Amino acid sequence: MSTIQVNGLLLRYELEGREDAPVVVLSNSLGTDLGMWNPQMPALLERFRVLRYDTRGHGESEVAPGEYTVAQLGDDVIALMDGLNIARAHFCGLSMGGMTGMWLGVHHGARFGKLALCNTSAKIGTADAWNSRIATVQKEGMAAVVPAVLDRWFTPDFQQRAPGQVEVVKAMLLRTSTQGYAANCAAVRDMDQRADIAAIQNPTLVIAGTHDGSTPPQDGRAVADAIPGARYVELDAAHLSNWERPTEFTRELISFLAD
């Protein structure tokens, strides 16, 4: 495991692939860790140098006190790239990772080539809904929210035919720090990038899931419509489309990045 000091806390990261290959940064969803990208890694490493990291408060990264903001999550990516001497990279984020990617495209677009914003939204949910989830996790722990999360993340069909894979994701959720999860929920709660993302000039791919219960297809379509020239793709999946439809997701991502 590799760690680096970033903005006052240790972030866990993995940097793999040929040193002469273009770099792509992968950013995880709320409640997972860098392992959520395992289905994409073999194909990505054939063409790219891949930088994965555990978002602050997740996985093996440290949990800083207080509530977080999307700006902090984006600043962590820039500091991570600076610390590893990566001047420019492509970026792919899913859900909260996609929200981080929007912020990076608006505020640090020159540091990135292409952006892939997957199963995400420029604004999601209400403050009351997020506050309720934060309160539940703080009082009852992650196990209290995991069943509902999994039902939004995976279709019933996938849960029935791939229970082992669902268990892997479930384990990620249960390992997540309650404090870290709540702090990141606050970042998502307070985020509204709907008016900002029209300024993104990077070539952008938006991937949505037809059955996504967290960020429905209309949210992805709204992001794609707001970003000039963005490409929109919809997969027959729920929220973790990279896990439920790994072949199609990876094909779309690599086709876009390598184009």
**What confidence tier does 249 reach under pLDDT thresholds 50, 70, 90?**
very high
Is the pLDDT at 259 greater than 90? The verdict is: no
Q: What is the mean pLDDT of residues 199-211?
A: 98
3-state secondary structure the chain: CEEEEECCEEEEEEEECCCCCCEEEEECCCCCCHHHHHHHHHHHHCCCEEEEECCCCCCCCCCCCCCCCHHHHHHHHHHHHHHCCCCCEEEEEECHHHHHHHHHHHHCHHHEEEEEEECCCCCCCCHHHHHHHHHHHHHHCHHHCHHHHHHHHCCHHHHHHCHHHHHHHHHHHHHCCHHHHHHHHHHHHHCCCCCCHHHCCCCEEEEEECCCCCCCHHHHHHHHHHCCCCEEEEECCCCCHHHHCHHHHHHHHHHHHHC
pLDDT score, position 147: 97
- The CATH number covering residue 76 comes to 3.40.50.1820
**What confidence tier does 1 reach under pLDDT thresholds 50, 70, 90?**
confident
Q: Return the percentage of the chain with pLDDT > 90, whole number.
A: 99
Q: Summarize pLDDT for 31-90 with one digit per residue, the tens.
A: 999 999 999 999 999 999 999 999 999 999 999 999 999 999 999 999 999 999 999 999
Domain, as residue range, for 84: 2-258
Q: What is the mean pLDDT of residues 176-182?
A: 98
Is the pLDDT at 240 greater than 90? The verdict is: yes
Q: Summarize pLDDT for 15-25 with one digit per residue, the tens.
A: 999 999 999 99
Mean pLDDT of the chain: 97
Q: Summarize pLDDT for 125-177 with one digit per residue, the tens.
A: 999 999 999 999 999 999 999 999 999 999 999 999 999 999 999 999 999 99
Q: What is the mean pLDDT of residues 207-228?
A: 97
Domain count, the chain: 1
Is the pLDDT at 117 greater than 90? The verdict is: yes
